[in-house]
Amino acid sequence: MTIRQKLLVFIPVLVILANMVAFFIYNSSTKIQSSYHNVLNRMMIERQVIKVVEQTTNELEVYIRDRNEGVKANYTLQRNKLEELSLEITKLNLQEPIYIQVKNLYQLVQSYLKLLKQIEHQLSDPKVSIQSIPVAELKQNEQFINDEASDLIYEELNLDQSIYDRILSLTLELNRYGVALFVISVLLSLFVAFWLTESINRPLNKLAVAAQAVASGKLDYPVPEKETNDEIGSLYESFNHMVQNLRELFVKNVENLEKDKLVKELELKALQSQIHPHFMFNTLNVISKLAYIEGAERASELAVSVSNLFRYNLRRLDQPVMLRDELQNATEYFAIQKARFQDRVKLISVFDDDALDQLIPCLTLQPLLENAFVHGIESMESGAELQLIVERFPSFVQITISDNGAGMTEQVLQSMLTLNESTVKGFSGSNRTRNSTGLGTQNVFRRLVLFYGKDADEGTLNRLIKIQSAENMGTSIILTLPYRNKE
């Protein structure tokens, strides 16, 4: 049974139980009350007979004395009242042993009424002598009614005595049962309440202890077995499942940590084995000077270019630079490549001077040029041409890097223009041919998007970067950058 069902069943049961007790006691006391009322009512009727007969006699005497319609009306009213009352007497239950007396009373009242009729008849004759009216007989009759009714009331009381003694003792008994019922139902309620709270509390406590243990890191704490099929039971199941997952996750985590540690160590070793780049850069400068002194001017220039490239690459990559510097760097890079490719390659660069203040992420152009070399021009025997065009438009700067090399398939083109992590990872990953900066085109694109766009999504990407390519015709990458300068 679920907790909800338990509550839904037991709370109404307890409420009904408590109310039942109250209702029982109320009901029986109502019964007793109505019985008192009945007996009282009987006696009231009997008492009423005495009173009304007395009043009727009085009214009759007044009527005999005054003989006018007013008093006659009073008298008639009383007589009618008595007639109604005599009907009431017939409605009284005929009960042993007093029913004979009720009958007597009825007969006496009837005789009285008969006598009244006779007197009325006599009175309707104005010549009748008052002496012939049987007033004495009427009075005697009244006395008899009085006696009989009094006897009857006495008998009713007498009779009721024994019954009421019994009712009283039964009522006391009933009250005792009522109290017992109350006490038992209270005890039962307490029992059920304890049981209910216990059935909820105990497993919850157990779970809490287990949860606390797990929270404090004791993952090997024995998982409690679920005892019930209620909500707490399912909580147990979830908890156990969670602990299970936590254990697995923990094991994996430990593995990962170990892996990371190893990688870190390796990296450290790799760094230790690396030559300090500044040393390289100083050495290059010395080589340049030496070459110049010895008359190898071109070698000296190349050494300077390489030196400049190193210096540029050594700066902080997270700081934006002026387009001017970026172009300078691109030119240095081209100079180095030129030394390698000689006359096989030609650079056509057109710079709009207004655009040179444009802020741009560091190392944007060099990887793109490198890309053009690697994928476009490297395989060409001769006539390779690179174009680097910078144009200033009112709100943006357009940079076009184009080659007339091998070009790209549609598939490669599409893959370049996606931002998802796996591809980003892929470009920076080792499966790619490492280039000089260690940065792939996608890394560049991603940084551009992050730098210029509000949202790092495909829409921003497509707005900023366009790639046109055809196989054996060449590729052009067009960057449309919103104008931004230091101010």
Partner 1 sequence: MTRWTRLWLLSALFLVICLIITIVQFFWTDKTIGSLVSNDGRSVVQGGDQPHVVLIGIDSQDEFWNNIHKGAFEAGKLFGYTVEFKDVPGDKQEELAATVNRYRIAHVDAIIVRATEGRVFEDAVRLAERSGIPVITIDSDLKSTIRSAYVGSYQTGAGMFLGQMVNDSISMGSSVGVIVERKSSIQQMKRLDGFASVLAGMGNSIADVYESNLSIVASIAQTERLVNDFPNLKAIVGLSNTDAPAIAQTLKRLGRTDIKVYGFDESPETLQGIREGIIEGVLVQQPYQMGFDAVRMISDKQEGKLTPSDHYTSVKSFTKKSLIAQEEGLK
Could you tell me the smallest distance in angstroms from the CB atom of residue 20 to partner 1? Answer: 8
Q: Which stretch binds partner 1 (CB under 8 A): 137-145, 247-255, 314-322, 396-404?
A: 137-145
Could you tell me the smallest distance in angstroms from the CB atom of residue 167 to partner 1? Answer: 6
CB within 8 Å of 432: residues ≥ 6 apart: 426, 440
Answer for which of 5, 68, 80, 107 binds partner 1 (CB under 8 A) is 107
Query: How far does Cα 409 stand from its chain's mean position?
Result: 53
167 lines the binding site for partner 1 (CB under 8 A): yes
Under DSSP, the state recorded for 372 is I
Beta strand pairing call for 320-322 and 359-361: antiparallel
Could you tell me the smallest distance in angstroms from the CB atom of residue 264 to partner 1? Answer: 56
User: Between 52 and 115, whose beta carbon lies closer to partner 1?
Assistant: 115
227 lines the binding site for partner 1 (CB under 8 A): no
Question: Residue 471 burial (CB < 10 Å; 0-12/13-18/19+)?
Answer: exposed
Could you tell me the smallest distance in angstroms from the CB atom of residue 26 to partner 1? Answer: 11
List the structure tokens of 283.
């050495």
x-or-dash pattern for partner 1, window 6-45, by CB under 8 A? ------------------x--xx--xx-xx--xx------
412 lines the binding site for partner 1 (CB under 8 A): no
Could you tell me the smallest distance in angstroms from the CB atom of residue 82 to partner 1? Answer: 15
CA gyration radius, the chain: 60
List the structure tokens of 219.
């993952």
421 lines the binding site for partner 1 (CB under 8 A): no
Q: Which stretch binds partner 1 (CB under 8 A): 119-127, 139-147, 292-300, 367-375?
A: 139-147
Whether the Cβ atoms of residue 356 and residue 323 lie closer than 8 Å to each other? yes
144 lines the binding site for partner 1 (CB under 8 A): yes
331 lines the binding site for partner 1 (CB under 8 A): no
Query: How far does Cα 63 stand from its chain's mean position?
Result: 89
Answer for which of 43, 135, 153, 159 binds partner 1 (CB under 8 A) is 159
User: Between 114 and 425, whose beta carbon lies closer to partner 1?
Assistant: 114
Could you tell me the smallest distance in angstroms from the CB atom of residue 180 to partner 1? Answer: 5
User: Between 25 and 467, whose beta carbon lies closer to partner 1?
Assistant: 25
Could you tell me the smallest distance in angstroms from the CB atom of residue 67 to partner 1? Answer: 27
Give the three-class secondary structure for 386: strand
Question: Residue 224 burial (CB < 10 Å; 0-12/13-18/19+)?
Answer: middle
**Using CA atoms, how far apart are residues 325 and 369, in angstroms rounded to an integer?**
15
1 lines the binding site for partner 1 (CB under 8 A): no
Could you tell me the smallest distance in angstroms from the CB atom of residue 225 to partner 1? Answer: 15
Answer for which of 55, 76, 171, 415 binds partner 1 (CB under 8 A) is 171
393 lines the binding site for partner 1 (CB under 8 A): no
370 lines the binding site for partner 1 (CB under 8 A): no
User: Between 38 and 420, whose beta carbon lies closer to partner 1?
Assistant: 38
Answer for which of 10, 177, 396, 483 binds partner 1 (CB under 8 A) is 177
Q: Which stretch binds partner 1 (CB under 8 A): 51-59, 142-150, 240-248, 391-399?
A: 142-150
Whether the Cβ atoms of residue 155 and residue 101 lie closer than 8 Å to each other? yes
User: Between 13 and 249, whose beta carbon lies closer to partner 1?
Assistant: 13
Residue list 192-221, contact with partner 1 (CB under 8 A):
192, 195
Query: How far does Cα 385 stand from its chain's mean position?
Result: 66
**Using CA atoms, how far apart are residues 364 and 165, in angstroms rounded to an integer?**
114
**Using CA atoms, how far apart are residues 302 and 332, in angstroms rounded to an integer?**
9
Query: Judged by CB under 8 A, how many residues of this single chain contact partner 1?
Result: 51
User: Between 192 and 478, whose beta carbon lies closer to partner 1?
Assistant: 192
Largest CA distance in the chain: 185
List the structure tokens of 100.
């004979």
Answer for which of 3, 64, 133, 188 binds partner 1 (CB under 8 A) is 188
Nearest to 363 by CA among 309, 406, 417, 432: 309
Amino acid letter, residue 218: K
Residue 89 φ then ψ, to 5°? -60, -40
Task: Please give the full DSSP string across 229-251, using - where no structure is assigned.
Answer: SSHHHHHHHHHHHHHHHHHHHHH
List the structure tokens of 26.
């109320």
Beta strand pairing call for 384-392 and 359-361: unpaired
The H-assigned helical ranges of 216-229 are none
Could you tell me the smallest distance in angstroms from the CB atom of residue 136 to partner 1? Answer: 12
Residue 440 φ then ψ, to 5°? -90, 170
154 lines the binding site for partner 1 (CB under 8 A): no
Could you tell me the smallest distance in angstroms from the CB atom of residue 169 to partner 1? Answer: 10
**Using CA atoms, how far apart are residues 136 and 142, in angstroms rounded to an integer?**
10
245 lines the binding site for partner 1 (CB under 8 A): no
Residues at the contact surface with partner 1, assessed by CB under 8 A: 24, 27-28, 31-32, 34-35, 38-39, 93-96, 98-101, 103-105, 107-108, 110-111, 140-141, 143-144, 147-148, 159-160, 162-163, 166-167, 170-171, 173-174, 177-178, 180-181, 184-185, 187-188, 191-192, 195
